[in-house]
């Protein structure tokens, strides 16, 4: 896909507290067997001290909350990450059963540069390839935007990544537009802290353990409340449940959903869930 927007008034380097914001269209397949991909829009904020990658729905909800003086929630299918300038350590933000977690990963990406170039909209882009997260990736970057950054954890090229896709086209990023903000955008209540919900800082292996615990009993929290009498009923999709055992079919449905939609961007980190 060609760029439909081009950068205006781009200035190399930052003024004080400035944010360079880039918007990417992401086409992805939650289920590797699905034919048509889903579509999301992702945001890449390049700040003087750090870089932040997150779902555009966070910005939409933040705007609505500020306009209405509300604190409505929004979540995402994708993994938001932040990293300090010139660092390969990413802070990952994930949720399980509405609990926010964060964990650090060291993600060094080794690129192979090609001499191949082409025009993409207003930019001359150059090809680069890498293996990361159990996938083979092809990126096209432009030296005309001298930020060594890109969507998600992809960085380290001599220019901004314009397009990026894995060899099976299960994850495809296209840069759509950009804007420059005079001040660093405050994401503290939509990303680092999610609407007052502070993340639990854990090791990545601990988070994986929590994922498996949730899979083994995804209705545990509500089943315990019904079993112990803490709650007398539980409403779900218009149905009221009063007995903990009645939630077992919902538990099975959730487990089936988790197994089916198990195609993360880092495929080598996909959990092999047992059939229950």
Which regions of the chain carry the CATH code 2.50.20?
Answer: 19-192
Higher-scoring residue by pLDDT: 253, 65: 253
pLDDT, tens digit, for every residue of 163-198?
A: 999 999 999 999 999 999 999 999 988 888 877 788
Give the pLDDT score at 73: 64
Provide the pLDDT confidence category of residue 71 given band limits of 50, 70 and 90: low
pLDDT, tens digit, for every residue of 85-144?
A: 999 999 999 999 889 999 999 999 999 999 999 999 889 999 999 999 999 999 999 999
DSSP-derived secondary structure letter, 164: E
Average pLDDT of 12-24?
76
For residue 128, give the nearest of 117, 263, 52 by alpha carbon.
117
Does the pLDDT at position 150 exceed 90? yes
Mean pLDDT across the chain, nearest whole number? 89
E strand or H helix at 135, and its extent? strand 135-142
| Burial zone of 143 (CB within 10 Å; 0-12 exposed, 13-18 middle, 19+ buried) | middle
Lowest mean pLDDT among 19-33, 59-73, 202-216: 59-73
Lowest mean pLDDT among 59-63, 69-73, 136-140, 249-253: 69-73
Does the pLDDT at position 12 exceed 50? no
Contact 174, 163 (CB under 8 A): yes
Give the pLDDT score at 70: 61
Higher-scoring residue by pLDDT: 90, 12: 90
Domain 19-192 CATH class label? mainly beta
Q: What is the pTM of this model?
A: 0.89
As a whole number of Å, the end-to-end CA separation of the chain is 42
What's the rounded Cα separation, in Å, for the pair 216 and 54? 29
- Four-residue CA torsion sign, 51, 57, 62, 67: positive
């Amino acid at each position: 896909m060609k760029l439909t927007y081009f950068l205006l008034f781009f200035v190399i380097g930052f003024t004080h507290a400035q944010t360079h914001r880039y918007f990417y269209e992401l086409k992805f397949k939650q289920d590797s067997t699905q034919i048509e991909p889903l579509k999301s829009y992702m945001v890449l904020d390049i700040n003087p001290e750090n870089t932040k990658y997150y779902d555009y729905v966070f910005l939409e909800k933040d705007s609505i909350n500020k306009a209405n003086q509300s604190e409505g929630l929004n979540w995402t299918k994708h993994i938001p990450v932040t990293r300090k300038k010139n660092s390969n350590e990413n802070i990952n933000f994930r949720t399980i059963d509405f609990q926010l977690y964060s964990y650090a990963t060291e993600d060094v990406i080794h690129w192979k540069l090609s001499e191949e170039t082409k025009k993409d909209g207003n930019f001359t882009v150059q090809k680069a390839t890498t293996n990361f997260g159990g996938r083979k990736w092809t990126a096209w970057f432009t030296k005309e935007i001298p930020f060594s950054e890109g969507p998600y954890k992809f960085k380290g090229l001599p220019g901004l990544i314009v397009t990026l896709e894995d060899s099976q086209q299960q994850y495809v990023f296209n840069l759509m537009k950009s804007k420059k903000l005079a001040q660093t955008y405050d994401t503290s209540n939509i990303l680092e802290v999610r609407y007052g919900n502070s993340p639990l800082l854990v090791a990545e292996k601990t988070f994986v353990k929590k994922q498996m615990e949730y899979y083994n009993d995804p209705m545990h929290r509500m089943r315990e409340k019904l079993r112990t009498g803490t709650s007398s009923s539980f409403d779900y999709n218009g149905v009221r449940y009063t007995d903990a055992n009645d939630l077992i079919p919902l538990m099975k449905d959730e487990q089936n959903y988790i197994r089916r939609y198990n195609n993360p961007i880092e495929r080598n980190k996909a959990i092999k869930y047992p059939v229950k």
